[in-house]
Amino acid sequence: MPELTELPEPATSTTPVPPATPVAFPPAFLWGAATSAYQIEGAVREDGRTPSIWDTFSHTPGKTAGGETGDVAVDHYHRYRDDVALMARLGLTAYRFSISWSRVQPTGRGPAVQRGLDFYRRLVDELLAHDIKPAVTLYHWDLPQELEDAGGWPERDTALRFAEYAQIVGDALGDRVEQWITLNEPWCSAFLGYGSGVHAPGRTDAAASLRAAHHLNLAHGLGTSALRAAMPTRNTVAVSLNSSVVRPLSQDPADLAAARRIDDLANGVFHGPMLRGAYPRTLLSATSSVTDWSHVLDGDLALIKQPLDALGLNYYTPTLVSAAAASADGPRADGHGASAYSPWPGAEDVVFHQTPGERTEMGWTIDPTGLHDLIMRYHQETRGLPLYVTENGAAYDDEPDPDGRVHDPERIAYLHGHLSAVRRAIADGADVRGYYLWSLMDNFEWAYGYGKRFGAVYVDYATQTRTPKSSALWYRDAARTGTLPPVTAAE
Look at the alpha carbons of 401, 406, 412, 415 in this order and tell me if their dihedral is positive or negative. positive
Segment (H or E) for 352: strand 350-353
Q: Of 41, 68, 126, 391, which is the active-site residue?
A: 391
Q: Is 185 a catalytic residue?
A: yes
Q: How many helices (H) and strands (E) does the chain have?
A: 16, 15
Phi, psi at 378, each rounded to 5° = -75, -25
Q: Of 155, 185, 410, 445, which is the active-site residue?
A: 185
Q: How far is CA 145 from the centre of its chain?
A: 21
The angle formed by the CA atoms of residues 11, 304 and 237, to the nearest 5 degrees, is 85
Q: Strand, helix or coil at 138?
A: strand
Peptide bond into 201 cis (omega under 30): yes
- Please give the C-alpha separations between residue 107 and each of 26, 137, 295, 318, in angstroms, as whole numbers: 44, 19, 25, 38
- Please give the C-alpha separations between residue 173 and each of 14, 99, 121, 161, 186, in angstroms, as whole numbers: 44, 11, 7, 19, 23
Label residue 159 exposed, middle or buried (CB < 10 Å: 0-12, 13-18, 19+). buried
Nearest alpha carbon to residue 317 among 387, 393, 206 = 393
Nearest alpha carbon to residue 455 among 78, 83, 54 = 83
Q: Confirm if 400 and 468 have CB atoms less than 8 A apart.
A: no
Q: Is 6 a catalytic residue?
A: no
Q: How far is CA 346 from the centre of its chain?
A: 24
Q: Strand, helix or coil at 391?
A: strand
Catalytic residues: 185, 391
